[in-house]
Chains A and B, each alone.
Chain A
Amino acid sequence: MFDRLAGALGIDGAQWRALVATYLRMDFRATGGPARKNGRVRNRSQIVGIAMVGAVGGGAFGLIAAGTPDLLMSASLLTTYAAATTIMMLLVDFTGVVLAPEDYAILAPRPVSSRTYFAARLAAVGAYIAVLSVATAAIPVLVYAVKGGVLAGAAALVAVLLCDLCMTVLVISAYVTLLRWIHPSKLKRAMAYVQLLGATSFYLVYYLATVGFRHSFLDRLGFESSPWLWVIPSTWFAALVRAAAGGSGPAVWIAAGAALALTAACVPLAAGRLSLDYARRIGEMSAVAEPASRRRAFRLPGFSRGEARAVALLVRAQFRFDQRFRMGILGIIPLTGFYMLLGLDEGALRDPFLSGTGAAGVYFAVIFIPMTLHTALAASESWRAAWIFFATPASHARIVVASKNFVTIYFLGTYVVALAAFWSWFFERVWHAALHALILGALAHLLLQLAVITRPSLPFAAEPHKAQRSAATFALFLVGGVVAGVFPFLLSIVYRRLATTIGTVVFLLLITVAVEYALRLRVDEAIGELEFRS
């Protein structure tokens, strides 16, 4: 029966089943990378990890749903958050989540039609997105069931699921349509900026929800006073929840109908979009090098010889050519800018030495940087090239420390200087801006040291897993939000008197030196026995 139906759609049922089973099986497995002697590579399931993080994120929106009288508004925030996370996950990790570059090399000489391949890939991605959607919707479903009845609870699940699947189809369609017109290498570069936009929209939704909840403006903001909210497609899916709860007006029913119409429109839109030819073009994206411009010989004090120079050359080159790494680093920029804007009311641009210690959001960005640097440094699609660390007499510990130092100076240092320059425009005194940026930079470096101590890893030596970065990002939002809340309180004490400020700087220097010493001992012990598995 299934095979007959699939055949009518031009899909080979047997091949479809075999491919979907393979893709799902691969999603639950890990492969190579550095591993401990006599130890197997850890078999971590990325799907389970991201589902857990999705459930926690959904829990926050469950709280918002419980505390917000307007069902439509809270459901809109939930569906918008779900859509934003899906879009971000797909954009940040398109080749990992949607297509694997090795697909073309393995399947192109096999008798698999483009349509069958597409259907299998779409089913596997759909299953993946569905797991995330169900996890995100789990807690809100309970809240809506209590507030609006069982039907509203069920509608919340359907709304999130359909919204996420529609976004998946739209992102995939847009991506592969662009591939038809734009050369993969150009698209790769352009995607960097699209990903920045995607990341920005993710931050926007998340922060609007939390800030809105804190200031209770969700109680005041409504679709009647702000009809422009209907323009956002994710609100149409939220209308399903409101409609299921009963007693809603025609606008809600029209929006719910629009959501279902959009879902129906996605089916033919998806058909025929993805094929092995697109897989080939995407495979080329990771294989075709950008045209290299001739560069001056690179010399940075402290990185002129040995492992330090090797790491400096590697990290610099990866930043130029490795999309994952570059986007991981550049993603910090919209985050910081966004928090600056949102924190204006809370004094993000006021001199903290004269008027309090500014908005917590800026400190959140500071926490985000070391974690981002650490995560971005660990995995790469070129992870197999890490054999070189194991085939040369280089010290693994020195490589790890050098990569930490390089990103501190090259990326964190640049960021701190830019932050100081920006603040000096707004603060009363330039040295206030410099000192404030320096202290935040020192704290960020301390956090980076702690991240390396906790999980030392050779640079670009681990195999990237599906949505690994997305999962790490979501987890960081949850933990970082709590930690950032403590910063304003601590800094208000530090900046109260000059003596405490100087004392803090000295303390930070001492603790940095102590942690650096501990880090070298720990890295020596933790990484010395690593073996390469490929």
Chain B
Amino acid sequence: MIDADNLWRRYGDRVALQDLTLHAGAGEILGFLGPNGAGKSTTVKILTGMIKPDRGRAMVAGYDVANDPIEVKKRIGYVPESAALYESLSAREYLDLIASLHHLPPAATAPRIEELLDRFGLSHAIDQRLSEYSKGMKQKVLIVSALLHRPEVVFLDEPLTGLDASAALVVKELIRGLAAQGRTIFFCSHVLEVVERICTRIVIINQGRTIADGTARDIAASAGATTLEEAFVTLTGTRDAAQVSHDLLDALER
């Protein structure tokens, strides 16, 4: 469902992606990790057809993202990291807009919107403007908007941000359920415990390159670590957390 080969992308003089290759099949939950600025967002933007790679080729749901971006977008759902919404609309209006953009029949969509929002505990606020929503409520609307049209591939960029514990649990179960239905999940997160728990395979990138690909156990073993977290630190060359926090506390005392 996702086949990206040798992707390159530059922003001016800065190379964001260099020769990135990754694949994800139907029913797979692919965890996509990397330190800040590693190229995760650029990869997601390329795979969702938002930007084009300078070099390389990416196929999503059977379509080339550079040549057929509209066909790709018809088949994907995307929860962005930032809660980008038209905040002067209500949740119902916003989801209605998204449904129209996906050509969903209004008669069938209206009850689906109500039902999905109800399952997320938002039925009381369905006609309230999104500007009045909390961060977690907005996140739920974003998740609903990504799934409303029953996409084949779902890109989730930090989907649990702002959600309370029970909503996060619901979303994690939802992700597993979507994968069980044969949908491909592309899951970006910095919360390694969650990635370790729900992803069937993990790709770690650093400085625009793939540095690890496999299950959490395989990656940990190859890095000589016992947990994914330790492996991530080792592979990405992140400074020792204890030392960094010690330095920070020192700076606060000065």
Interface residues of A (CB under 8 A from B): 14-15, 17-19, 22, 25-26, 29-32, 41, 102, 104-113, 280, 533-534
Contact = CB atoms under 8 A, between A and B. Distances in A.
A534 to B, nearest CB: 7
A17 B131 contact: no
Contacts of A108: 48-50
B55 interface: no
Nearest to B96: A18
A465 to B, nearest CB: 10
A105 B76 CA distance: 15
Given A18-B100, A25-B93, A110 B73 contact: yes
B87 A111 contact: no
Interface string B70-113: 11011010101010111111000100111011110000000000
Contacts of B23: none
Among A32, A102, A111, A533, the most chain B Cβ lie within 10 Å of the Cβ of A111
A110 B80 contact: no
Contacts, number: 73
24 contacts: A15-B101, A18-B96, A18-B97, A18-B101, A22-B86, A25-B88, A26-B86, A29-B88, A31-B88, A32-B131, A41-B131, A102-B85, A105-B82, A106-B86, A108-B48, A108-B49, A109-B73, A109-B80, A110-B101, A111-B74, A111-B101, A112-B73, A280-B50, A534-B131
A361 B93 CA distance: 49
A17 B100 CA distance: 9
A17 B87 CA distance: 19
B89 A14 contact: no
- For the complex of A and B, list the 7 residue pairs with the smallest distance between their C-beta atoms, beginning with the closest: A18-B100, A105-B84, A111-B73, A29-B88, A109-B78, A31-B131, A108-B50
Interface of B: 48-51, 70-71, 73-74, 76, 78, 80, 82, 84-89, 93, 96-98, 100-103, 129, 131-132, 155
Among B51, B98, B131, the most chain A Cβ lie within 10 Å of the Cβ of B131
Given A31-B131, A111-B102, A106 B84 contact: yes
Nearest to A111: B73
A22 B87 contact: no
A254 B253 CA distance: 80
A415 B84 CA distance: 40
A533 B155 CA distance: 30
B132 A533 contact: yes
Nearest to B104: A14
A102 B82 CA distance: 11
Contacts of A113: 70
A32 B129 CA distance: 10
A30 B131 CA distance: 10
B89 A22 contact: yes
A109 B76 contact: yes
B124 to A, nearest CB: 17
Among A32, A109, A280, the most chain B Cβ lie within 10 Å of the Cβ of A109
A105 B80 contact: yes
A17 B155 CA distance: 27
Contacts of B84: 102, 105-106
Contacts of B71: 111
B85 A106 contact: yes
Contacts of B78: 109
A443 B12 CA distance: 50
A41 B131 CA distance: 10
A285 B185 CA distance: 32
A14 B103 CA distance: 7
Contacts of A30: 88
Contacts of B131: 31-32, 41, 533-534
Nearest to B87: A31
A109 B100 CA distance: 14
Contacts of B88: 25-26, 29-31
A32 B87 contact: yes
Contact of A112 (B86, B101, B155): B101
Contact of B98 (A31, A41, A110, A533): A110
A109 B49 CA distance: 7
A106 to B, nearest CB: 5
Contacts of A17: 100
Given A31-B131, A109-B76, A111-B70, A22 B97 contact: yes
Nearest to B131: A31
A533 B84 CA distance: 17
A433 B110 CA distance: 70
A107 B86 CA distance: 10
Contacts of A104: 50
Contacts of A25: 88-89, 93
Contacts of A110: 73, 98, 101-102
Contact of A15 (B86, B87, B96, B100): B100
B80 A26 contact: no
Contacts of A41: 131
A506 to B, nearest CB: 50
A482 to B, nearest CB: 35
B167 to A, nearest CB: 20
Contacts of A280: 50-51
A109 B102 CA distance: 11
Contacts of B49: 108-109
Nearest to A100: B86
